[in-house]
Amino acid sequence: MAWVGLGNVASKLMMFVATVWIANRLLADAFGAVNVAFSVASYIGMVLFAGVDIMATRHAAAAPTGSRAPLTGEYAVLRALLSCAGALVCAGAALFLPGQAGTLTLLYAVSFVPQALCMVSLFYGVEWAWPVTAYFVGGRVVYLGLIVMLVRGPRQAVWVPIAFGLALLAENAFMALLWLHRHGCAVGGSRFDWGRWLPAVPVTVASAALLLHENCATVSLGFIRGTADAGIYSAAWRLVYVAVSMALLLSFVFMARLVRVRAGSVEAARRFFRRTMLMVTGGGILCAVIGMLLARPVVALFYRDAYASSAPVLAVAMWLMAAVPARVFALQTLNGCGAYRAAIVGSVAGAVVSLGATVAGAYARGPLGAAAGTVAGELVLAVILTGAASRALAAPRA
């Protein structure tokens, strides 16, 4: 977790610098269009890949050393098929988005091609840590460098998705070559084991609900209030997303370790779960309180005066930090225990509450209301999924 956390902190700092650069040069309208397009593309990608990525981590953690080539081959085939599907769906979604948001979404569709090479989930499974750090840092160096060179004003918004795609190509090619050199890849040499990938379906359903909850505010604001309000919300959301993505990435490391601990002792797994949840929840609450108090000076420090109304949005959105870690670690506990039905029921129920609250908030109060609705949904999800995870760990191991 320390290695992955170090790489992710460095990565998110560079992404933050890139976001501030983009926001201050594109201004709210074009910045909002970029974030609407990115939200659509990232939602499609995360939904398509979420299930197979989690299964890849779980199977890599359980596979004996020296026998991972068939798993790698199957995973590579699935990633390639899903990358093609993602590009087509994203290009289709672009047709329904107005103006610049549609054009940018079409460009983001091209970034699905290099995602076929992504092997990072396998590295999580075997706890091969330093390449993950290099993956995060190297890709963001490429992205930040391209952004600083190419994005100078609103007319250069098209370079944002192009830079994103090139960064993905660099980082994923590095990881694929490193993994294949050590573990190999067997494609077509034996019968494809569909059975071990079928649990990806319920995981994908649960992830789709959760990702809709995460991305609803930006997209709904773009449709309901316009891209300028979406830009105001996104300026605040990007500051909070550092912690959200950190919790998600660390949860993969947590799940790999939980699978191994639970295989030896159910009681040890329960203790590991309780310690981890107390740590991440306590840290999240502390970060939320500090972030709320510093919201106004932080926005003033990093953004132009046009984004001043992002400060109260950030103060509210900071409370996502209190709930997100509990939610994502609880969900990975359910995945690690194979409690997929509980994961789907809890995720869908919480997401429905979140969507209703977020859309209603966007209509009533714009970015501030959307942030409040998202926080309310996150708290509901955290409570539901933590309770379900506790029950799953208390049940006898199958």
Please check whether residues 184 and 52 belong to one and the same domain. Answer: yes
Where a domain ends, among 146, 174, 198?
Answer: 198
Residues 213, 359 contacting (CB under 8 angstroms): no
Report the pLDDT averaged over residues 56-77: 84
Which of 158-172, 227-241, 278-292 is the least confident region? 227-241
pLDDT tens per residue, range 106-161: 999 999 999 999 998 898 888 787 888 888 888 899 999 999 999 988 889 999 99
Please check whether residues 322 and 227 belong to one and the same domain. Answer: yes
Please check whether residues 179 and 303 belong to one and the same domain. Answer: no
Cα 231 to Cα 216: distance, rounded to the nearest angstrom: 14
Question: What residues have CB less than 8 Å from 198, skipping those under 6 apart?
Answer: none
Cα 288 to Cα 273: distance, rounded to the nearest angstrom: 22
Please check whether residues 262 and 194 belong to one and the same domain. Answer: no
Q: At what angle do helices 310-317 and 266-302 cross, to 10 degrees?
A: 170
**Structural tokens at position 196:** 């071990």
Going by the DSSP 8-state scheme, the letter that residue 303 receives in this structure is S
Cα 213 to Cα 347: distance, rounded to the nearest angstrom: 9
Going by the DSSP 8-state scheme, the letter that residue 307 receives in this structure is G
Question: Looking at this protein, which amino acid is placed at residue 223?
Answer: F
Number of domains in the chain: 2
Please check whether residues 260 and 282 belong to one and the same domain. Answer: yes
The boundaries of the domain holding residue 36 are 1-198
Please check whether residues 4 and 48 belong to one and the same domain. Answer: yes
Rounded to 5°, the CA angle 63-333-262 comes to 55
What 3-state class would DSSP assign to 118?
A: coil
pLDDT tens per residue, range 74-85: 899 999 999 999
Please check whether residues 210 and 274 belong to one and the same domain. Answer: yes
Phi-psi region of 98 (alpha: psi -120 to 50; beta: other; left: phi over 0): beta
Residue with tokens 């990358």: 83
Which of 57-71, 114-128, 277-291 is the least confident region? 57-71
- Long-range CB contacts (< 8 A, 24+ apart) of 260-264? 260/61, 262/336, 262/337, 262/393, 262/397
Please check whether residues 157 and 285 belong to one and the same domain. Answer: no
Residues 198, 190 contacting (CB under 8 angstroms): no
What 3-state class would DSSP assign to 187?
A: coil
Cα 244 to Cα 282: distance, rounded to the nearest angstrom: 15
pLDDT bucket at 386, cuts 50 / 70 / 90: very high
**Structural tokens at position 31:** 């910045």
Please check whether residues 266 and 193 belong to one and the same domain. Answer: no
Closest CA to 43 of 249, 218, 228, 252: 218
Please check whether residues 138 and 287 belong to one and the same domain. Answer: no
pLDDT tens per residue, range 329-357: 998 899 888 888 888 899 899 989 999 99
Report the pLDDT averaged over residues 48-76: 84
pLDDT of res. 397: 59
Where a domain ends, among 168, 198, 228?
Answer: 198
Please check whether residues 129 and 240 belong to one and the same domain. Answer: no
Dihedral (Cα; 165, 166, 170, 173), 10-degree rounding: 50
Please check whether residues 118 and 99 belong to one and the same domain. Answer: yes
Where a domain ends, among 161, 181, 198?
Answer: 198
* pTM value surpassing 0.85: no
**Structural tokens at position 223:** 């449709």
